[in-house]
Amino acid sequence: MAALCRVRHRWKRTNCIQLLTRNLTGTFDYDLVVIGGGSGGLACSKEAAQLGQKVAVLDYVEPSVKGTKWGIGGTCVNVGCIPKKLMHQAALLGTALKDAQKYGWQIPGPISHDWSTMAEAVQNHVRSLNWGHRVQLQDKEVKYLNVKGSLLDEHTVKGSTRTGKEIMLTAKNIVIATGGRPKYPTHIPGAVEHGITSDDIFWLKESPGKTLVVGASYVALECAGFLTGIGLETTVMVRSIPLRGFDQQMAGLVTDYMEAYGTKFSWRSVPKSVDKLSSGVLQVTWTDEQTGKDQRDTFDSVLWAVGRAPETKTLGLEKVGVKLNKESGKILVAADESTSVPNIYAFGDIGEGRPELTPTAIKAGKLLARRLAGQTNELMNYDNVATTVFTPLEYGCVGLSEEEAESRHGKDSIEVYHAFYKPLEFTVAERDASQCYIKVVCKRGGDQRILGLHFTGPNAGEVTQGFAMGFQCGATLTHLKETVGIHPTCAEELTKVNVSKRSGLDATVTGC
Amino acid sequence: MGGHRRVEREKEERQSHTEVIRRKNLSPMAHRLLVRRIWTLSVKDLRCLPASTSSFSTSLRSSTTPLSLLSPKRTLPRSLPHTSRREVSFNVQDHEDFTERVINSELPVLIDFHAQWCGPCKILGPRLEKAVAKQKGKVAMAKVDIDDHTDLAIEYGVSAVPTVIAMRGGDVIDQFVGIKDDEALDSFVSKLVGQ
């Protein structure tokens, strides 16, 4: 009898607290509505729900021009990082098969690749991730709505279903994490009708065949890289420089390797038009900017990788007063991800000046959720973020490029240490390692604080991750030299770096 | 018998779509669409159902004019016995189909929640078919692809696949997750049938 009374009293108390919370949040349907169910949106909504907030996440995928659409999870899961890395792995395995013969493996016939088998396996994995996200949202009690969200006012979100039905939600706080989509060069005749983008390539049921990849961003180079690796004739069309924003010496090494690996490059070329011939192939005409002459060739597919545009057009931002950067179209955000409207926040690819990376979006989302729930004041640290380009020869880096370090500190105030090395695995396989290279950009004098670290070679992502932690801790060249390498690895070469560019000495690593 | 059965079935169908509406909390517009769908089987649905299903033929008997306009074009038998040659194993088409053929099934039903990307599902699937076939029409099996019917799967609390739910009279009476061997499956199915 006494126990029962206690239980009833506790129930009454908890109920009172719940009522109080609801009153504090006014008459809003939700404490938080997140528009966008990608890397950032999902992390933010799940964290907020875990902290006791009533959260809804709105995710909607407008089909691509070619009609490709996908489930929850955003760009990374569906048309970015995940399928990209899996296809990159497929290509690497092709190379490994060739190397295997040198290592004694008896491979009976010629090796060929079947696109459909790879695509189905990759697509199935992505679907399992879509499902996993749905289950997680359910478990964490986040309301999921497959609707296209737009703002009506600073506390009201309108959601439109695919069939045109509309729902209204009110929220104390609104977070925009709608990310971006690939751009089409609409001024080029035939570009939209006949070309595809990264939104489509991973969902093709049949091989894209002979492909022209237009662009020189990491999207372009990574796609061209794995297409070449699985045996498809691939050409990259570059207008000016590869990997804009990255260290240009390293970018050059990446493209040199790709050229040696079999990818064709059309430098200083600008596409003029794309026509579909009666046979079904695409004829591309482009201008060679060096000669001024027009060139022409046929391809089975044309992949546009000429930049990404933020998904802001249908959000109703102007009406509500959320300010955008006029040039990029991205949302202007402060260090705490707030926008020009007090209770509206934005982060991830949609934020102006933010890195377009999944880990930063996830971390920023979690911190934002914690701040909104009043749990912390910690802001997201966007500095020292390591990244890797998964081209056939991978490139990992953290910190400043050599050019950026020079521009910030002056050429005389920095010391650049470098080394060309050969991965042990390449020796027996008789593979060319001319582009396997390490560069450590340091502040000159004293312990020589590391300003930037660059590595091209196999498993660059795995190698760079560990060093990124050192970088975050303010590592110096002295720290690096005091670290004993693990042998035999490629990563140990970073601990052995000692030839400076300034000395002019040969940077090739010899022997053991 | 025919008239009484028809009234009964009409009442059941009304109850079933009321239950769907209640569960779905539909707006008036969606309610009208749903009513239209249940009472007028679309041509696509007709194509999906094999010729010998009696669940189709019972709906034929109980539905209103639009369906009888369609039936002359069909070569399907009009007077099949009520419970014989019922489709034993089928793929769930949509939420309405689930209500009609699973929740309102006169037979106990095994619901096999599976996915294209799930390896173990491909092992369990044929085993389930075998166990169900052994029961010679005493139990039906509804297959639900969770990528096509994510909301339905979430509604039934599915998190990992394969998940098999045993349902009788619209109530979940048992379930399991993962693979079972033939013996364990036979025992699970027998329990559902009530042997």
Residue B46, token pair as written in the block: 């007709």
Per-residue pLDDT averaged across B73-78, rounded?
Answer: 45
Q: B131 with B189: CB under 8 angstroms? A: yes
pLDDT at A466 over 80: yes
A351 has binding-site annotation: no
> Closest residue of B to A132, CA-based?
B159
- B118 vs chain A: nearest CA distance in angstroms? 8
A2 vs A228, more confident: A228
Find, among A209, A3, A29, A28, the residue nearest to A115 by Cα: A209
- In A161-224, at which residue ranges do the beta strands (DSSP E only) sit? 166-176, 180-182, 211-214
Report pLDDT digits (tens) over A363-378: 999 999 999 999 999 9
Which amino acid, one-letter code, is at A244? Answer: R
Picking from B117, B150, B161, the nearest residue to A134 by CB comes out as: B150
pLDDT category at B8 given cuts 50, 70, 90 is low
Q: Please name which of A316, A22, A335 lies closest in space to residue A176, comparing C-alpha atoms.
A: A316
Interchain CB contact of A165 with B (< 8 Å): yes
The alpha carbon of residue A312 and the mean position of all alpha carbons in its chain are separated, in whole angstroms, by 19
Bridge partners for A144 per DSSP: A57
Contact B147 A127 (CB under 8 A): yes
Handedness of CA A108, A111, A113, A118 (dihedral sign): positive
DSSP-derived 3-state class of residue A106: coil
Phi, psi of B113, rounded to the nearest 5 degrees: -85, 120
Q: Tell me how many residue pairs between chain A and chain B have CB atoms under 8 A apart.
A: 28
pLDDT at A382 > cutoff 80: yes
pLDDT at B1 over 90: no
Catalytic positions of A:
487
Q: Which of A254, A270, A273 has the alpha carbon at shortest distance from A392? A: A254
Among A16-20, A153-157, A348-352, whose mean pLDDT is lowest?
Answer: A16-20
- Tell me the pLDDT band of B87, cut-offs 50, 70 and 90: confident
Percentage of residues of chain A with pLDDT beyond 90: 93
Q: Do B115 and A131 touch (CB under 8 A)?
A: yes
* Residue A402 CB neighbours (<10 A): 21
- Cα A491 to Cα A464: distance, rounded to the nearest angstrom: 8
CA distance B115 to A134: 14
pLDDT in tens, A202-255: 999 999 999 999 999 999 999 999 999 999 999 999 999 999 999 999 999 999
Mean pLDDT for A183-210 is 97
Residues in chain B whose beta carbon is closer than 8 A to a beta carbon of chain A?
A: 27, 29-30, 115-118, 146-147, 150, 154, 159, 161
User: How many CB atoms are located within 10 Å of the residue A114 CB?
Assistant: 10
Please give the pLDDT value at position B195: 58
What amino acid positions of B are annotated as catalytic residues? 118, 121
Nearest-CA residue of chain B relative to A136?
B159
The 10s digit of each residue's pLDDT in A416-452 is 999 999 999 999 999 999 999 999 999 999 999 999 9
DSSP state of B101: I
Q: In Å, how far is A165's CA from the nearest CA of chain B?
A: 10
- Which pLDDT band, with edges at 50, 70 and 90, does B52 fall under? very low
Q: What pLDDT, in 10s, does the model give residues A72-105? A: 999 999 999 999 999 999 999 999 999 999 999 9
- Give pLDDT tens digits for A286-302: 999 999 999 999 999 99
* B117, B150, B159: residue with CB nearest A128: B117
Coil/strand/helix, residue A361: helix
Residues of A in contact with B145 (CB under 8 A): none
Give the C-alpha separation, A159 to A16, whole Å: 32
Q: Do B154 and A134 lie within an 8 Å CB cutoff?
A: yes
pLDDT at B14 (0 to 100): 52
**What's the whole-number average pLDDT of chain B?**
72
* Backbone phi, psi, residue B49, to 5°: -80, 130
As a whole number of angstroms, the distance between CA A304 and CA A214 comes to: 5
Q: Is A125 on the interface with B (CB under 8 A)?
A: yes
Residue A436 confidence (pLDDT): 98
Tell if the CB–CB gap between B147 and A125 is shorter than 8 Å: no
Of the candidates A304, A438, A463, A493, the one whose C-alpha atom is nearest the C-alpha of residue A388 is A463
